[in-house]
Amino acid sequence: MARQRSGAVAHLRLAKPLTTAYILGLLSSTSPRLARILFLFGKRKLTARAAWLQTIHTLREALAVHRFPTFCAVFVGGSTLLQIPIRIVLGIVLPRLTSSSRPLGLGVARLFARFIAALISASVSFRLLNNPPARNAALSVTERAPVLNRFAPGPFDEPPEEQSVDVTSLSRPDLAGRTMDLTLFAVIRALDILVGTTTSSLNPSSLLRKATSRFPTPLFCFSVATIMWSWFYSPSRLPRSYNAWISAAAELDHRLVLALRHARYGTFQYSKETGMAPLLGSMARDYGMPEDAGDPAKTIPVPCELVHMGCGKSCEKHALWRFWRGWAFAAKMYFPLQFFVLAKHLMEPGHPGDRLAGLSKQRLMAAIKDATRRSSFLGAFIAFFYYGVCLSRTRLGPKLFSPKTITPQMWDSGLCVLSGCLFCGLSILVEESKRRLEIGLFVLPRAAATWLPRRYLPEYLWREHLAFALSAAVVMTAAQEDHRRVRGVFGKLLHRVLKTD
């Protein structure tokens, strides 16, 4: 009787990850929206009734069956609970299929049960996310795909983006691809686990292991270069929230972005009157410069002083100013986060009585140092990007290459942006070596998403379904076998979610 009771308790503990996953999924999907509602209400931009109605709407959406919290619960809960019947079936079937002289080991059976449970759960949860009610599945025309404009855009219009697929074929309301970012995240993580497991068994002096240990830096540089290039010339390939975050961190006058996009499209040309003079001319006037400084027919090339947006003529001074602005932007996020972690540490049961006594000087300094380093990383990223643009188009590029070989038009139609995209990746050197891979794994799925269409025809959904199910099963199985195989914060989070004690 006692053995049966202990077994029942053990099985009930397996349900704990389901609850934890649902709560975390609910918090992650509602917290940003609820915080924004609270912020607008505090600024008196929302009435109490409007704030209440938006809160109810946010919670009602998050609690729906086809939303992210249910996806988390089904995937994590199914990965743990389904192991029970699968192990029972394996206990009956495997002895009949294997030789008595060479029985299948318990470790292999456990691994197989975990993988099958995770595979089934991943498949079912993927279906949940990709089968919303019909009223939520329809997309507006602007969300389906950018439509090419038949007419030349004006100076303050967005030029059309180059499309790798036929736009007319993407006008259906039932397009697939709403989980593409999640699928790419799972695929990248699964590949990292497989590569890490393979290389960990090699000799530390082997060439392959040394190569993979140095891989995070070029991986990050390649990923962020792809993302920044897409932000400039193909913003629809990035999620809207990610586009908005990059725009907020960059603090770049949108007229300058438009000029660079028009230069690539061919409507902003030097030595020609194309009607683009008002675009940067108005910007030059706003920053205390003569309007002719922004006229491509009269000023070749547009001076870097205009790119500096009122920060003076010095490119170095502008880079330092951008570093400070980027550092301050990141510090608003990282310093409160570090102090929140400190407060959480002090509230733990291990600090009874005077909780401030548990706040050692070393711990406080470590938190400040960590927040400062992470803020410096973003500051360096932004500064390197802007300085890379200046170096290529005016400071170093024209001295290395003749203006007849690489003209100012060629620099401003893409080469200067490419230089900034490649240069900004060096900011990863500010971070500790142990965090470089984690940051690379964070940005790589977003870079990979720009190589594929964000929306695609539903008959190809099975490909994404298969890729997600297999990859998620690999990640979940590895997390249950040894959580250290799933590297970084994500691995630690999975370990906490899957704990049953």
Residues 329 and 414 in one domain: yes
pLDDT of residue 102: 53
Q: Answer whether residue 455 is part of any domain.
A: no
> How much is the pLDDT for 143?
44
Do 6 and 129 have their domain in common? yes
Rounded distance between C-alpha atoms, residue 79 and residue 498, angstroms = 10
Q: Where are the alpha helices (DSSP H) in 251-360?
A: 254-265, 277-286, 304-307, 315-346
Residues 465 and 430 reside in one and the same domain: no
Report the percentage of the chain scoring pLDDT > 70. Answer: 83
- Listed residues 399, 420, 436: the one ending a domain: 436
pLDDT in the model for residue 12 = 65
Do 281 and 367 touch, CB atoms closer than 8 A? Answer: no
pLDDT at 390: 92
How high is the pLDDT of residue 76?
Answer: 92
Residue 303: inside a domain, yes or no? no
Residues 313 and 378 in one domain: yes
Tell me if 272 is assigned to some domain: no
Residue-level pLDDT at 432: 85
Q: Has residue 148 been placed in a domain?
A: no
Q: Does residue 487 share a domain with residue 411?
A: no
User: Is 150 in a helix, a strand, or coil?
Assistant: coil
- Residue 228's pLDDT is 93
Judge if 400 and 468 occupy the same domain.
no
Residue 338 shares a structural domain with residue 426: yes
Residue 293 belongs to a domain: no
Tell me the pLDDT tens digit for each residue of 2-44: 555 555 555 567 678 888 899 998 998 888 888 888 888 888 8
Note whether residue 123 is domain-resident: yes
Domain membership flag for residue 143: no
- Whether residue 486 sits in one domain with residue 414: no
- pLDDT score of 183: 94
The whole-number pLDDT of residue 149 equals 46
Question: Under 8 Å CB-to-CB from 158, ≥6 apart: which residues?
Answer: 258, 261
Residue 8: per-residue pLDDT: 54
Query: Is there a cis peptide before residue 301, judged by omega within 30 degrees of 0?
Result: yes
In this structure, the answer to whether residues 379 and 331 fall within a common structural domain is yes
Return the axis-axis angle of helices 216-233 and 254-265, rounded to nearest 10°: 90
Residues 57 and 112 in one domain: yes
In the 8-state DSSP scheme, what is residue 301? Answer: S
Closest CA relative to residue 251, chosen from 379, 393, 417, 337: 379
Contact call for residues 124 and 78 (beta carbons, < 8 A) = yes
**Residue 476 sits in the same domain as residue 428:** no
Residue 428 to residue 422: CA distance in whole angstroms:
12
> What range defines the domain where residue 329 resides?
248-252+309-436
Residue 277 lies in a domain: no
> How many Å apart are CA 21 and CA 125, to the nearest integer?
13
**pLDDT computed for residue 323 by the predictor:** 95
Q: Are residues 335 and 422 in the same domain?
A: yes
Tell me the backbone φ, ψ of residue 324, rounded to 5 degrees: -65, -45
What is the reported pLDDT for 377? 93
Where the chain has pLDDT below 50, the residues are: 1, 101, 136-150, 164-169, 353
Q: Which residue has the tokens 């190809």?
A: 460
For tokens 């004006």, the residue is 154
How many folded domains does the chain comprise? 2
- Could you tell me if 441 and 215 are in contact, meaning their C-beta atoms sit under 8 angstroms apart? no
Cβ-contact 120, 82 below 8 angstroms: yes
